[in-house]
Structure 1
């Protein structure tokens, strides 16, 4: 049983503290109690709460009754991580962290313990991209009959509406916004691929493990074509490309290299990357990080 006080990390509190949604605020306030309930129910011993942690979940390092290390995760209710457990069940440890137990009522997940401080971002860029490509390839499996995962068309429909509204407030980005919205309309309709995707894949989502060198964490699962997942990898460390010489050509080479290495159509990867870069750029600009938002839009223009 835990004897140390359970306190949500400041990053999580800061991320959700301004949320006016009643259920989210109530969840944050009741989080210490929720953690203790899972510790008691699953007979876990708390070692420490992971800090700084993430912005949409609490992760605590625990020991199971037999002394085996594990990680207890409680995600914010109602977010994309609600189906995380279902995706981890499908993968069953293949390319992703293994799910040990789950609780539908609280959304709690008990996961195998990985090395939280060691992600692919700790590697040189070329090596990191190679390992990331090998990891994400393992995750692309059929979702199973009668699955309840969101589809890529459905997931991006809401985002496209938000993009239109936000773009109206940024007229200089109008042509890029228009192209991104059109790509979102045409890309899902033109693909017959129906793979289970990570949905939020990037180098920071791949941690060092014990049973295999690298394993993905934190999926926001969605069913669709592989190019969507790979687009997140194209955008990873985009600041490094922006800072270098010949940045536009380097960005296009990255698209071509990743597409070819994973047998993904270059044009479709370019399209999804542009769409995701514009969405992220408009969002960042609207939430205060204007410089990063402008860099993302510049990156999109190079494509």
Structure 2
């Protein structure tokens, strides 16, 4: 039985307020009821709703019937909770938060409780990068026969047209956009690796745990080569790199250091990093964050 009011965090409300999708708005209105239904069905006691929380899900801190702490996650419809559940089942707590229960109808996930206020971003940059590399390495496992996950080729193909369209409005970045699109076309065909990847890996998604020092959360799982996953880590906290002296050389050293540490081909990591930097940078500009977007494009140019 709930012991506190169930109210969606303001960050979640704000992130969906501009979404014209009526399904998202309907889900938001029904969210308190959906949470209460899961609490009742799984015999959970609500401690509090986690805030500020994320932009695509509500997380509530709960206790199970035996008093064990856990976290209840309710994602926005279409946010890929089934894929998250499938990936967490494959990892079974190895390098990632452990999935305790899931519900296909609501997309709800019951997860082991981590220290949500303590992520790798709380560490100095060099130490955080080292711990992040060790964590992501654990996640790179075979996806299993008949797996349900999309491939890197499929995911990036779906994004290519959006990049081409958005890039047309950032004329100064036209050469970078052209190079990124060419890399997206060629890179998937150049690798036969088939690892289960986190898909959205960054330091902020690695939280402190009890049974292990650091565990990954919030995957957007995809199957493909490790360099695609590692590229996101190269870009993580890129502002720290750009703020220092010799930033361009430091960016290239980061690529080389991570590639060598995790036995990934340097050139392929460089190419995937350039693609992901351009793709993200152009989308940031299109979304109105021109400063961050242009910094990402400058980072890509250094590579």
Give the TM-score of the pair, scaled to structure 1.
Answer: 0.99
Aligned counterpart, 1:217:
217
Task: Give CA-to-partner distance per residue, 1:230-269, whole Å, 9 cap, x none.
Answer: 0010001100111111000000000000000000000000
1:154-233 superposed matches below 5 A: 154-233=154-233
Aligned counterpart, 1:108:
108
Moved more, 14-23 or 42-51: 14-23
Aligned counterpart, 2:33:
33
Task: Give CA-to-partner distance per residue, 1:72-104, whole Å, 9 cap, x none.
Answer: 001111124441000000000000000000000
Aligned counterpart, 1:287:
287
Aligned counterpart, 2:150:
150
CA distance in 2, matches of 1:130, 1:81: 29
1:12-91 superposed matches below 5 A: 12-91=12-91
Indicate if the aligned counterparts of 1:75 and 1:82 stay in contact, CA closer than 8 A: no
Aligned counterpart, 1:135:
135
- What 5-or-longer segments of structure 2 have no aligned partner? none
- What 5-or-longer segments of structure 1 have no aligned partner? none
CA distance in 2, matches of 1:81, 1:283: 24
CA distance in 1, matches of 2:3, 2:10: 20
Aligned counterpart, 1:119:
119
Cα offset, 1:23, TM superposition: 1.2
CA distance in 1, matches of 2:133, 2:20: 39
Indicate if the aligned counterparts of 2:281 and 2:294 stay in contact, CA closer than 8 A: yes
Aligned counterpart, 2:273:
273
Indicate if the aligned counterparts of 1:81 and 1:218 stay in contact, CA closer than 8 A: no
Q: How many residues align?
A: 303
CA distance in 1, matches of 2:140, 2:96: 11
